[in-house]
Each structure stands twice: as C-alpha cells, then as structure tokens.
Structure 1
Amino acid sequence: MPDLAQHRPVLADARYNGMSGSGLRLEALPEGHLLHVLGAIEPPALATELAKAGLANSSIRKAGFRQWFVAGNEPLSPTSLAALAAALAGKAFVMDQSHGRVRIGISGRSSRLLLSKGTAIDLDPAVFPEGSSAMTMVGHISVQIVRTGDDSFELTVLRSFAESLWDELRHMAASAEKEGA
C-alpha cells in the first residue's frame, strides 16, 4: 500500500523562496491556519474565544458583512478547531480554510507601488490604515489584501491560484523596483 500523501506547501519550491530588492520584499508565509468565521459576533468577542482555544496569536481580518478570516502561522490542531467551534456555537460558524488558501507577504517602501499595478484599492494609509482588509482582484485573481504595517501587506489567495499570483507579483515587482528607484 502506498504511503499517504504528505502535505507540501504550494509555494515550497526553490523558485518561491522569496524576493528582495532595494525597496521590496515578497515572501511566501507559513501555511499555518486560516479560518472563515461567519456570524453575529464582533471582533473583541471573537478574540476572546480565540484566546480560550489557544489561538491568541491569530489575527482577525474582516472578509465581508459578519464574516472574518482568522489567520496565524501555526498549524491548527483538530482539538483547537473543535474547541473554537463549540465556543462559537449559537454565535457564529467556523470553517477551516487552511488547506485551500495561501498567504503571501509584501513589504518595503515600494509595496504600495507594486500593489497599485494590480488592484484599484486605495492603499494610502489615511484611507487603508494598518489592520484594514479588503477583498479585491489582483489582475484576474481574487485576493484578500490586509495592511499589516506601514509598508507591509498580506495577500490571501485560493491555493490553486497561488503560483499564478506569485508570478504576477514578481513581474509587477520588477516594474515597481525600476519606478521606485
């Protein structure tokens, strides 16, 4: 009997080791956990329940009306997921999306310039401050953009589009580096 399939991060190949230029860094983030939470629960109450389930280091990102993505770098145990689902019962539903989505980090002084080449979101810090998130398109690929710092962003994409998005970002990065220099 063949061995069971082993999980391999989609951007694990050597060509996805990251990219750094003078004003830009592109990196594949750990495939930890990504949960989709739907329901009438506000972020402070959700954060409390996350802490009780051992997910205090996770971040909460708005994904739509009464919808949030909960992202973190550590893999999620079935016990933690079950504890969170039980704690949210009657308030919200939780679905594990860890297997189906990939996170990519973009940082550096040219990060906004790079993203402006692929999306129409106004990423000015006055309009899109740290912690803000938006569902949008980068080229033809649907992504969630989250501002994680002054010049840093995280993009969450469906797993099957991760390599295409990476290639598109590298192409846009080369152009942004020339303009930002």
Structure 2
Amino acid sequence: MRDRPEHRPALAGKAVFERPGIRLEILPEGHLLHVMGSIDAESLAGYLSAADLAQSSLRSAGFRQWFVVGDNKLAPVRIAALSSILQGKAFVSDQSHGRVRIALSGPHAAEILAKGTAVDLDPSVFPEGRSVVTLFGHVSLHLTCTGLERFELTVLRSYAEHLHEELEHLAAAI
C-alpha cells in the first residue's frame, strides 16, 4: 500500500477552451521558483545561466522578489545548485507544487482580463515581459504579458479551478 497519493495536476482533464478571438489553456506544471533577496534582474539572469537555467523565464514578483518559471520539472539537485550559487545574495523557495499557470491569448484576452482586474493592460503600459501581482476578482494572482495579446496567469493551486471556470465563463460571453 502506498503511503501517499500520486501527484495529479490541479486542472487535469481540462481541455483547451477556444472561441473566436480567445484561447484559454493550462500550461505544464514545470517549475516555479520564488527568489528573494538583494539582487537585480540582470545579476539573477547571470546566476540562472551559471546554474544551467538560462531557458527559464525570469519575472518580477515584487520588491526584491522574482519568479523563475519553466515548463520542465527540476530535480531537487538543480534547485539546490541554484540555492548554492545564490548563497549570501538571495534565497530560493520551490513553489512548483503550489502554483498553476494558465495562458489566455487572442484579441479579446485583455478585454476578458479587464473584467476582473484593475491593471492597465494597454501594450504601451503593460508590454511583453511585464509582470504584476494583482487580484482577479477576489483571487490573488501573478499576471505576465508573454506576447502580443498573450498573458500568463499564475495562481495558487487551491484557486486554479475557480479562476479557470471564471475565465471560461467570461470568454464564453464574448
């Protein structure tokens, strides 16, 4: 008998939701590391490269806080290697198990997001690569512009299903 249940993705079984002008999809549960410390983005990018994590996306998550995000799971030894490289400069907390990433894209993506958040999503204000911690209704999330008319929402695992259902509802109304 097993002592613990098998890992099941938070939104397992959810198909891609697509309508004219909008696409909602679940992104792979790869890695999401929370880095906190007295370090800037440029320096952290260099350390990521040294830890063989240059392919990961680096996103601002608040004052002196960063998310290192990627589609592939990381072995604990790779996370430990990054922690070792950053020792004395920053701390690393693996949040991969506790957060879910959802992509929302298409010409209506910003319109749908505007119904739940107060963030100005105009590309001149919120360009590709910009991230912000915000609310969508009552749910706290990390919002990133990943391309023209493409956004990624990172949410705590326990709120993922609710957020996904809310986005489907708003998208169906377009």
User: Amino acid of the residue matched to residue 160 of structure 1?
Assistant: S
Distance 1:11 1:45 in 2: 35
Write out per-residue CA displacement over residues 67-110 of structure 1, whole angstroms, 9 at most, x where no aligned residue: 01111000011110000000000100010000000000000111
Distance 2:70 2:47 in 1: 15
Aligned equivalent of 1:50, options 48, 51, 58: 48
Shift of 1:4: 4.1
Secondary structure class of the residue paired with 2:68: strand
Per the alignment, residue 2 of structure 2 pairs with 2
User: Amino acid of the residue matched to residue 102 of structure 2?
Assistant: I
Give the 5 Å matches for 1:1-181. Answer: 1-2=1-2, 4-13=4-13, 16-175=14-173, 177=174
Q: Tell me the C-alpha RMSD between the 2 structures.
A: 1.0
Structure 1 vs Structure 2: percent identity of aligned residues? 57
Write out per-residue CA displacement over residues 161-181 of structure 1, whole angstroms, 9 at most, x where no aligned residue: 000000011111112x2xxxx
Secondary structure class of the residue paired with 2:97: coil
Shift of 1:20: 0.8
Shift of 1:24: 0.4
TM-score between the two structures when normalised by the length of structure 2: 0.97
User: Amino acid of the residue matched to residue 155 of structure 2?
Assistant: V
Secondary structure class of the residue paired with 1:86: helix
Shift of 1:134: 0.7
Secondary structure class of the residue paired with 1:123: coil
Distance 1:127 1:9 in 2: 34
Secondary structure class of the residue paired with 1:157: strand
Distance 1:64 1:2 in 2: 40
Distance 1:116 1:122 in 2: 8
User: Amino acid of the residue matched to residue 24 of structure 2?
Assistant: L
Shift of 1:3: 5.9
Distance 1:2 1:61 in 2: 37
Distance 1:48 1:7 in 2: 33
Report how many aligned residue pairs link the two structures: 174
Distance 1:52 1:81 in 2: 12
Q: Which runs of 4+ in 1 moved over 4 A?
A: none
Q: Structure 1: which 5+ runs fail to align? A: none
TM-score between the two structures when normalised by the length of structure 1: 0.93
Distance 1:31 1:2 in 2: 23
